[in-house]
Amino acid sequence: MKSLPYFCRGEVIRGFGRGSKELGIPTANFPDSVVDNLPADIGTGIYYGWACVGNGDVYKMVMSIGWNPYYKNTKKSMETHVIHTFKEDFYGEILSVVMVGYIRPERSYDSLGMTTLSHSYIHAYTQTAIFARSQRSDLSQASRFDLYYFSLTPTLLSTLYAHYSDITLVFVHFAHTLCVFSDGFSASLSSLFLVEALITAISNDIEEAKAKLELPEHLKLRKDNFFTSVPSSSSAAPSTAASTSQTIMNGH
């Protein structure tokens, strides 16, 4: 990929609340202006590099570039997971990234080991889950049917409501999987194994990024290029003291 390393920056916008944060892998979304400017040779897949929020420190990052199921696969998105634990969200802040390498292609649900299940199977599973929960004597009467017991967010709940009758909502830890990683209940349905497979794949990406970014060339690239402050104009190039030929001037 001749465009790598590729620098871009933009405001962090809200994603689609599919719950990656709840799975421990929050991903910050760039606006269309950044996504639409990607060079043609930077295709979908998983990338690694460096990132900083506002004028903050520079951290390692992994980024997924993919087609967003929310828009029925017509909209590409760039989602950055910064390998750092932040005290709070940073929506509205300027995120600066430099993508320095490619890890792997985006995997389809099938290749991640998804089991496709029929709606009738889901209903059967749901009924069983409701019954099992209603029988649990260790729970209070109310919590036996408490929909929030499984930490469903309002967004996920409303998605569920839109697709299923209220009684089936009790079947949530399974449904959560569907909310997060399928493009709706009318689509083929995945099992809990899918989430586990995806989390494992992303954890492997994170480990690979951590290792690769320790390489001398990547550490040098960071040192030579990295933006130490966010310019007031979003179209400005990274403002560093870098004077080497490696200074990254592309992207936003």
Ligand X SMILES: Nc1ncnc2c1ncn2[C@@H]1O[C@H](COP(=O)(O)OP(=O)(O)O)[C@@H](O)[C@H]1O
Give contact residues for ligand X (rule: CB under 6 A): 12, 14-21, 26-29, 80-82, 84, 86, 89-91
The whole-angstrom separation of Cα 28 and Cα 8 is 14
Which pairing describes strands 75-82 and 58-68: parallel, antiparallel, or unpaired?
A: antiparallel
From ligand X, ligand FMN, none, which one binds at residue 223 (CB under 5 to 8 Å depending on kind)?
none
Catalytic residue among 11, 22, 79, 214: 79
From ligand FMN, ligand X, none, which one binds at residue 91 (CB under 5 to 8 Å depending on kind)?
ligand X
E strand or H helix at 11: strand 6-11
Residue number of the CB closest to ligand X reads 15
Q: Which is nearer to ligand FMN, 202 or 221 (CB)?
A: 202
The whole-angstrom separation of Cα 168 and Cα 105 is 35
From ligand FMN, ligand X, none, which one binds at residue 202 (CB under 5 to 8 Å depending on kind)?
ligand FMN
CB atoms within 10 A of CB 134: 12
Shortest spacing between CB 202 and ligand FMN, in angstroms: 4
- The DSSP line for 95-112 is EEEEEEEEEEPPPPTGGG
79 is catalytic: yes
Shortest spacing between CB 99 and ligand FMN, in angstroms: 12
The whole-angstrom separation of Cα 251 and Cα 230 is 14
**Nearest to residue 183, comparing CAs of 79, 94, 67?**
67
The residues of the shown chain that bind ligand FMN, judged by CB under 6 A, are: 15-20, 25, 27, 46, 62, 64, 66, 79, 81, 106-107, 181, 198, 201-202, 205
Q: Which is nearer to ligand X, 11 or 224 (CB)?
A: 11
Structure-block tokens of residue 76? 């590409």
Q: Would you name the residues annotated as active-site residues?
A: 79
